[in-house]
């Protein structure tokens, strides 16, 4: 049976997505290649056909996941503060806290990347810078604000996941969301154009005094 030309690339993306979900939920270092392969529904041998080893898989996983995160921000119109705040609020939500396998890799995998080989850390740096650029473009090119938004959002989710009490999680997330809203520039006021003059209506003559 002959497969389409892009079959291998599509299959590789599927393996990355499934492996990433398992790693974000259970940790990459703690997951052996057998567990990652099982999560993807393939044998270990099949996984090695696409990736030369565990470090190569980790690097590609990090690269793919951070690219996906950046693309979420790419879809927002530049300067649309409300759309940006909505996306960040969804990030700092109980749903994201409770579903690491479906969310951003930064809260769960950053600490592991810090101990990973250079190949993985280089992929992480490139992906994080790409994400930073996407956010900076949405806040008028303010690089410092973009870093602050990333650090606040990731830190809020990371800390909330460590809390055993849902009420405490809610309070933490709500506090950081409110602070984030205060950091964002105020949306530009809507401009109201004066109605155009109707050329068919006669204008009143100007009355002269005296």
Mean pLDDT across 70-99: 95
Other CB atoms within a 10 A radius of the CB of residue 36 amount to 26
Of 9-18, 80-89, 194-203, give the lowest mean pLDDT range.
Answer: 194-203
Q: Is the pLDDT of residue 208 over 80?
A: no
What is residue 203's DSSP assignment? P
Kindly state the DSSP code that residue 75 receives in the 8-state scheme.
T
pLDDT, residue 200, reads 46
Residue 52 pLDDT = 87
Higher per-residue pLDDT: 33 or 188: 33
**pLDDT tops 60 at residue 53:** yes
Between 52 and 187, the higher pLDDT residue = 52
Dist CA 138 CA 55 (whole Å): 33
Residue 115 has pLDDT above 90, yes or no: yes
Count of CA atoms in the C-beta half-sphere (13 A) of 31:
25
| Model pLDDT, residue 197 | 46
Q: What is the pLDDT of residue 188?
A: 60
- 132-142 pLDDT tens trace: 999 999 999 99
The position carrying tokens 């996984």 is 47
If one compares 51 and 205, the residue with the highest pLDDT of the two is: 51
Per-residue pLDDT tens over the stretch 28-49: 988 888 888 898 888 888 888 8
Q: What is the mean pLDDT of residues 96-118?
A: 96
Q: Please, are residues 124 and 43 in contact by the beta-carbon 8 Å criterion?
A: no
């Amino acid at each position: 049976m002959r497969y389409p030309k892009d079959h291998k690339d599509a299959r590789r993306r599927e393996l990355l997505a499934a492996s990433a979900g398992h790693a974000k939920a259970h940790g990459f270092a703690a997951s052996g290649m057998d567990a990652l392969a099982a999560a993807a529904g393939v044998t270990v041998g099949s996984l090695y056909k696409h990736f030369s080893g565990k470090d190569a898989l980790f690097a590609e996983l990090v690269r793919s996941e951070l690219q996906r995160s950046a693309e979420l921000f790419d879809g927002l119109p530049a300067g649309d503060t409300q759309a940006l705040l909505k996306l960040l609020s969804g990030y700092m939500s109980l749903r994201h806290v409770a579903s690491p396998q479906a969310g951003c890799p930064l809260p769960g995998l950053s600490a592991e990347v810090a101990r990973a080989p250079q190949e993985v850390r280089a992929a992480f740096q490139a992906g994080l810078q790409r994400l930073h650029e996407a956010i900076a473009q949405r806040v008028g090119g303010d690089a410092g604000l973009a870093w602050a938004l990333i650090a606040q959002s990731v830190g809020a989710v990371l800390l909330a996941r460590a809390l055993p009490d849902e009420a405490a999680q809610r309070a933490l997330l709500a506090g950081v969301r409110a602070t984030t809203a205060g950091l964002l520039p105020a949306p530009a006021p809507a401009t109201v154009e004066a109605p155009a003059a109707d050329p068919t209506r006669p204008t009143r003559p100007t009355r002269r005094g005296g």
